[in-house]
Amino acid sequence: METDLLNKSVNELMEKFGAGNHKPGSGSAAAFQGMVSAKLISTVISLTADEKRKHLYSSCIPVLLDFHKEIEDRIYPQLADLFKKDSIQFDKTIKSRIARDQEKDELVKNQLRRQALEDLKLSIEIPFQIAALCKELAEMSAYVFDNGFKAARGDSQVGLSGAVSALAGCLAIIRLNVLSFSSDEFDYTKSVVKDVDNLYIDYKELMALADSKIEILREEFEKKIPLFEGINSIIIKSKKSKNVDIEKCVREFQNLIWDNRHLVWKKNVPQNHLDILSSDLILKNAMGYDYISSARYAVTTTEDESVEVCGIIDQPNKIVAVSNRFSDQVQNFTAAHELGHAILHEQAILHRDIPVDCIGKRGSRDKVEIEADTFATYFLMPTKLIKQEFARRYSDEIFQINENTAFKFGGRSTTDLNKECKTTRSLSRKLAATELYDYKNFISLAKQFNVSIEAMAIRLEELNLLKY
């Protein structure tokens, strides 16, 4: 029956452990803990080596795969074998004790006593073997925690703690069993105590190692608290205010994201402020939204008609959906628009109904839609950055058409440039789209900030960066 224990269901096995019998006993329980740890670590290694993510862990994959082979080919099978052996052997030990206690003949009783102690020696040896395997597992688990799939560190930690716990159980079993020996077995008990003392040193070190991994996770969460608190504070303050200063809100939000950028970007952490203007990543990694991009989204009007929209935000379910049928610039502006809703507005579900990527058509729109567009404008085209990049290209705080500036447009005259740019808007569009000025090539302002030429043109006018 004992050899069939591992073929039972989990519930049946737990019933066996809790039935009040001596089998399966504590040694089998320790082996079982080790087996669970082994499988957890194998799972994390398999997840790490999966095709879709193994390139992220390429430097440690060979070591992890060696661990996996050791666990599957040697450690787990040996633990399973020791699980069975302990149950069988401890059953023999208990039966020897019962026979000893029931025997009336003193000589036979003495023989049975000696036999029971010999059986107990085997019952001590098995936990030592279990402990040695669990020590290996714990060391592997710590490496996997540090170097394996980061999102599965819970499994790695449970594997580590489980292996250490199994080792602790083995220590207790051995120390308890050695109490049954007397002075006539002093040399044997002295040897066992020496070995178990060494094992205890290993246990203390591994226990500290397990605690350190838990501490790592605690510290990682502690680092996120300023980001979480900051976002929560901005949202509460903005949604409660009837006349929120949107530009100030955006600036505070962007400063918070910049200060915590290493938490929002898991890799390729931004090195300049322009690189944090990614609404989709911020929605996903800082705000907890699922960001979906698909071909078509529609909403039902009061007349039960379906109207196509650029984007939708569902705040209760934390979903932002943006249509990819429009240009990259429109999608970018729409994502920032929905980010604005997430921070500014209480309404559960809102949608951006037309592909307008600037503030030029605000007149007939709802107040919340105007505010979300304003947020997107300030978010994607921050005042300070726009002024810096404008000055870097045009070397002037305020651009005016004159002989000097006209000549820098490829040697043109003032007359020619005035003919091309007959209005403030046409000039601002040119400044938004230009990629060559004063014999210098550069990325246009519209492209650098990933907005449309029209959106950038309007922003330049808002900031009074040109005079016509």
336 three-state secondary structure: helix
Q: Which of 183-187, 302-306, 435-439 has the lowest mean pLDDT?
A: 302-306
Mean local confidence (pLDDT), 170-196: 87
What Rg value do the Cα atoms of the chain yield, rounded?
A: 35
Reported as a single tens digit per residue, the pLDDT across 197-239 is 999 999 999 999 999 999 999 999 999 999 999 999 999 999 9
Residue 92, pLDDT > 80, answer: no
**The two three-digit tokens of residue 167, written as one number:** 């080792």
Helix axes of 106-147 and 153-178: crossing angle, nearest 10 degrees: 160
Reported as a single tens digit per residue, the pLDDT across 237-275 is 999 988 899 999 999 999 999 999 999 998 899 999 999
> Of how many residues is the chain composed?
468
Residues ≥6 apart with Cβ < 8 Å to 64: 45, 48, 49, 57, 143, 144, 147, 148
352: which strand partners?
311
* Phi, psi (rounded to 5 degrees) for 63: -65, -45
Nearest of 345, 343, 323, 342 to residue 332 by alpha carbon: 323
**Domains defined along the chain, listed by start:** 2-222 (1.20.120.680), 246-380 (1.10.10), 383-467 (no CATH)
Nearest of 440, 463, 439 to residue 449 by alpha carbon: 463
| pLDDT at res. 303 | 59
- Angular region, 438: left φ>0, alpha ψ -120 to 50, beta rest: left
CA–CA gap between residue 156 and residue 76 (Å, rounded): 16
**pTM for the whole structure:** 0.74
CA–CA gap between residue 43 and residue 33 (Å, rounded): 16
**The two three-digit tokens of residue 45, written as one number:** 């290694």
CA–CA gap between residue 126 and residue 422 (Å, rounded): 93
For residues 442 and 451, is the Cβ–Cβ distance under 8 A? no
